[in-house]
C-alpha cells in the first residue's frame, strides 16, 4: 500500500510544517488472511461501518496515547508528527482492512485528533463529514482509531447505522437530537471503526475525569472498489439471508417510508463491491424487477 498526497487537497509530508514524517515508502499488498471477509463487507454495506477489535497491540496503543496527550492540539498535523500513529496504519491487519475498502493506492484526504476533555458534558451535533461527492457508488473510508478504552461514559462516537447512503452534508442534520436506532459502541483500546464517509455521527459527552481521544484518517480510493475484499462466500445462503433481512422495510427503525429506497441503494452498493451485476438483495428484488442496469 502506498498513500499518496494530492497537493490540491492536503499538503504532503514534505510540506507539512514541522514534519518528521517519512511516508513515501510503499508497502506490499497484504495477504488474503488480512482482508475483510464477505460477512464483514456485508456489515459495512448494511450499516455503513465495520468495527474491528484487537487490531493494534497494547504497546503501540500506549505509545500513541502518549503522543496524543502531548500533541492533541496539533489536530491536522498529528499524522505527520507522530511516527507511532503511522505505525498503526502500517500494520498488515490494518492495511488489510483499508485495502479491502479503498484498494492499495488510496489518496490522503485528511486526518485529525478528535478530543473530548474529561467532564465535558456537551455532545457534538449530529453531522456527516464533508460529502462533496458526485460518485454513484464509490466511497471514502474514515478510520477511527482508539488508543485507549472508551466505555460509554467516556463519550465514544455515536452513529446512526444504515444512514451512510442518505446523503446529507456537514451540519444539515444538526437540528436533530436523537434518532430511534442510534448506536453508541463501547470501545476497547486497539479498536478501529471503519466508517463509510456518508455515515451520520457525533461525539458524545465525557462524564469521566480522563480526556478522550480518537484519531481519524480519511482516505479516498484511487481505483474502482470492486472485489477488493475476500469475496469467498459473498453469495452464500448465510450472507444473502443477512443482507435480505436488512432490506425488509423498517429493519432500521429510523428509516420511515424511504426504507425501500434505502434497500435499493444498498443493493446497488453490494453489486458494486462484489462486481456481480446480477446479485440482488433489494426488497422484493426491486432491482431485477425494474431491469435496472448496473453501471
Ligand atoms: O470525536 C468523535 O467521536 C467524532 C468527531 C467527529 O466526527 C468530527 O468532529 O467530525
Ligand atoms: Fe465527524
* Domain presence at residue 16: yes
**Which residues, judged by CB distance below 6 Å to any ligand atom, belong to the binding site of ligand 1?**
114, 124, 129, 157, 201, 203, 214
CATH of the domain at 96: 2.60.120.620
Which one of 143, 154, 200, 214 would you pick to mutate in the ligand 1 pocket, going by the greatest count of ligand atoms within 8 A of its CB? 214
Number of neighbouring beta carbons within 10 Å of residue 122? 12
* Domain presence at residue 228: no
- Print the domain residue range for 85: 4-220
Distance CA 200, CA 125 (A): 10
Q: Tell me: do 178 and 284 sit in the same domain.
A: no
* Distances in whole angstroms, Cα of residue 172 to Cα of each of 123, 137, 141, 245, 252: 16, 22, 21, 30, 21
Q: Tell me: do 148 and 244 sit in the same domain.
A: no
Over residues 177-213, the pLDDT tens digits come to 999 999 999 999 999 999 999 999 999 999 999 999 9
Q: Tell me: do 40 and 66 sit in the same domain.
A: yes
* Domain presence at residue 232: no
Q: Among residues 95, 42, 51, which one has the least CA distance to residue 192?
A: 51
* Domain presence at residue 63: yes
* Domain presence at residue 102: yes
Q: Tell me: do 52 and 152 sit in the same domain.
A: yes
Q: Would you give the distance in Å from CA 238 to the centre of its chain? A: 24
* Distances in whole angstroms, Cα of residue 130 to Cα of each of 198, 250, 292: 8, 27, 29
* Domain presence at residue 294: no
* Domain presence at residue 277: yes
What global pTM score does this model have? 0.94
Q: Which atom of ligand 1 is nearest to the CA of 155?
A: 3
Number of domains in the chain: 2
Q: What is the pLDDT of residue 11?
A: 64
Give nearest CA residue, ligand 1 atom 9: 114
Report residues of the chain scoring pLDDT below 70: 11-25, 292-295
Q: What is the pLDDT of residue 22?
A: 47
Q: Tell me: do 61 and 183 sit in the same domain.
A: yes
Q: Would you give the distance in Å from CA 164 to the centre of its chain? A: 10
Q: Tell me: do 190 and 278 sit in the same domain.
A: no
Q: What is the pLDDT of residue 9?
A: 75
Amino acid at each position: 500500500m502506498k498513500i499518496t498526497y494530492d497537493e490540491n487537497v492536503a499538503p504532503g509530508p514534505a510540506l507539512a510544517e514541522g514534519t518528521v514524517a517519512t511516508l513515501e515508502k510503499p508497502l506490499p499488498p497484504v495477504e488474503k488472511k488480512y482482508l475483510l471477509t464477505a460477512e464483514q463487507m456485508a456489515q459495512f454495506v448494511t450499516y455503513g461501518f465495520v468495527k474491528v477489535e484487537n487490531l493494534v497491540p497494547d504497546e503501540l496503543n500506549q505509545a500513541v496515547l502518549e503522543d496524543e496527550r502531548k500533541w492533541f492540539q496539533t489536530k491536522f498535523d498529528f499524522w505527520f508528527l507522530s511516527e507511532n500513529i503511522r505505525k498503526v496504519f502500517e500494520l498488515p491487519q490494518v492495511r488489510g482492512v483499508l485495502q479491502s475498502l479503498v484498494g492499495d493506492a488510496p489518496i490522503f484526504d485528511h486526518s485529525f485528533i478528535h478530543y473530548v476533555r474529561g467532564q465535558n458534558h456537551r455532545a457534538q451535533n449530529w453531522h456527516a463529514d464533508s460529502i462533496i461527492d458526485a460518485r454513484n457508488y464509490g466511497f471514502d473510508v474514515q478510520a477511527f482509531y482508539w488508543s485507549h478504552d472508551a466505555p460509554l461514559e467516556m463519550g465514544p462516537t455515536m452513529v446512526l447505522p444504515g444512514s451512510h447512503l442518505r446523503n446529507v452534508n456537514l451540519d444539515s442534520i444538526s437540528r436533530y437530537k436523537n434518532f430511534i436506532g442510534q448506536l453508541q459502541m463501547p470501545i476497547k483500546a486497539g479498536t478501529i471503526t471503519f466508517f463509510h464517509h456518508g455515515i451520520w455521527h457525533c461525539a458524545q459527552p465525557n462524564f469521566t475525569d480522563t480526556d478522550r481521544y480518537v484519531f481519524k484518517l480519511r482516505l479516498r480510493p484511487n481505483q474502482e472498489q470492486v472485489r477488493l475484499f475476500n469475496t469467498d462466500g459473498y453469495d452464500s445462503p448465510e450472507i444473502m439471508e443477512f443482507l435480505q433481512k436488512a432490506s425488509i422495510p423498517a429493519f432500521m427503525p429510523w428509516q420511515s417510508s424511504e426504507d425501500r429506497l434505502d434497500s435499493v441503494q444498498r443493493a446497488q452498493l453490494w453489486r458494486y463491491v462484489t462486481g456481480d451485476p446480477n446479485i440482488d438483495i433489494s426488497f422484493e428484488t426491486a432491482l431485477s424487477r425494474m431491469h435496472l442496469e448496473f453501471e
